[in-house]
Amino acid sequence: MRGCRGSGHHPRAADRMARRAAAHWRQARVPPVRGGIRVARSGEVRGWRAPRCRCRGRPVHRARGGRVMNSPRSRHQTERFGDQSGWRVAVVIPARNEQDRIRGCLDALAASLARARCPGGIVLVVNNTEDATAAMARDWWGAHPDSPGILLDCESPADQAGVGWARRQGLDAASAQLPQDGILMTSDADARVDPGWVAANLAELTQADLICGTVRPMEAELSRLPDAFGRHGPREGAYMQAIVRLISTLDPQPHDPVPAHRNAAGASLAFSARLHADVGGMPCLPIREDRVFVGNAEARDWRIRYAAAPVVLASCRLTGRTGGGMAAALRARVEEDDPLCDELLEPARTALLRYGLKGQLRRSWPDGALVGVLAPHLPPGHDRGGHFGAFWRLVENTLPGLRPIRLRQSDLPAQQKILNDWFAGQSPGRERT
């Protein structure tokens, strides 16, 4: 068996390969490798540690001579549908236990791709699912032979089963399908993209490098949430709007002069294959992989735009597929009397300091006086000749006054008043001070 072909071993085949590997190691008098099947010199199988296969991302064991053995605890099956040539756009979807929603998700994506009239396809990563998600996806493609797609049906160890890992596998596979100037997009299996979502993303990418689209709740599901949810939404939304206004006032960006929001959500991202390669791909994190990815792009000075036009409708379920995410946030707002706010919502004075300093540093970068004043307070070896985003990340991580502080809902009225008073005190010519 060569490379990464096939979807796994029959148990007896795995046992035979383990015994052969043990005999090979004893004869060659070399210790077992750290990854793959761990075999004692007696031939006893002692467990499994899975390195990564760089060709398709599957855990493998590489014995001497280049032979490859699949992990008995891992499975990675790739299936292709429709025309695989000439893709310009690829939309990546992670899915786990989504049999009730996957058909609607794929229907919406196919309609949006068709409306955009741009050749491309869907890359669906079904990871550690316990239901019929993969089977339903196969049936869907069987009924839509003109919709190009790739299905990655994976079963991975628990430490590789998160949404970040699934997105990464899908984006890597999609990148291999695209030219260097191709476009990658991501959404979620429990979401429905707007018919104009793909086209809107392509239009926005003429203005910036990474597009964070608008994620709205599905109205029918929102209306079924308990009444307790409504206690917090308006107050949190008003403070979020104030923070967005503050950012655009103190640190305006020519490629995003009036941001619609500040939500970096995997449910609606669009970016070039070049950006994806430059930032090292999607982080393999169980939660927040989307925000970390966007932060990594900002640190490399890619232009980020928080756009209104690309719209995705997200589910309002209270039990999600990860330990955090939107479902956990919704559940907290229903069940808790004083839940935490979104992490972007920080104390008003901290936000004034953060974005005021960031805007001044950006305007004076790289040789301004303020940059020179801060330099002695930063760790040695920082590079003022590199990316502004990386320098700013260093400043944020170093200065105590910029450490993140999470607010609770009960904190918002006082913080809203501080920002309202600050805006009221700004004349049109003084808002950047």
**How large is the average pLDDT for residues 297-315?**
97
Q: Which of 136-140, 368-372, 414-418 has the lowest mean pLDDT?
A: 368-372
What is the helix (H) or strand (E) element at residue 172, kind and residue range?
helix 163-177
Task: Answer for the pair 363, 257: CB distance below 8 angstroms, yes or no.
Answer: no
Predicted pLDDT at 318: 59
Q: Is the pLDDT of residue 416 over 60?
A: yes
Which single residue is written with the structure tokens 């990655």? 152
DSSP single-letter state for residue 340: B
What pTM value is reported for the model? Answer: 0.80
Which single residue is written with the structure tokens 């990418």? 205
Banded pLDDT at 36 (limits 50, 70, 90): very low
Buried b (16+ CB within 10 A) or exposed e, 139-151: ebbeebeebbbbb
State how far the Cα of 76 lies from the Cα of 15, in Å rounded to an integer: 20
Query: pLDDT tens digit string along 209-265?
Result: 999 999 999 998 878 877 766 777 889 999 999 999 999 999 999 999 999 999 999
Query: pLDDT tens digit string along 91-117?
Result: 999 999 999 999 999 999 999 999 999
Predicted pLDDT at 87: 98
Q: Which of 96-100, 314-318, 400-404 has the lowest mean pLDDT?
A: 314-318
Domain extents in the chain: 11-73, 77-335, 348-404
DSSP alpha helix (H) spans, 336-410: 348-364, 369-374, 388-398
CATH architecture, range 77-335: Alpha-Beta Complex (3.90)
Q: Which residues contact 218 (CB under 8 A, 6 or more apart)?
A: 192, 313, 314, 315, 316
**How large is the average pLDDT for residues 351-377?**
90
Q: Can you say whether residue 341 is alpha, beta or left, with left for phi > 0 and alpha for psi between -120 and 50 degrees?
A: beta
Buried b (16+ CB within 10 A) or exposed e, 300-319: eebbbbbbebbbbbbbbbbe
**How large is the average pLDDT for residues 326-354?**
84
Which single residue is written with the structure tokens 């786990």? 96
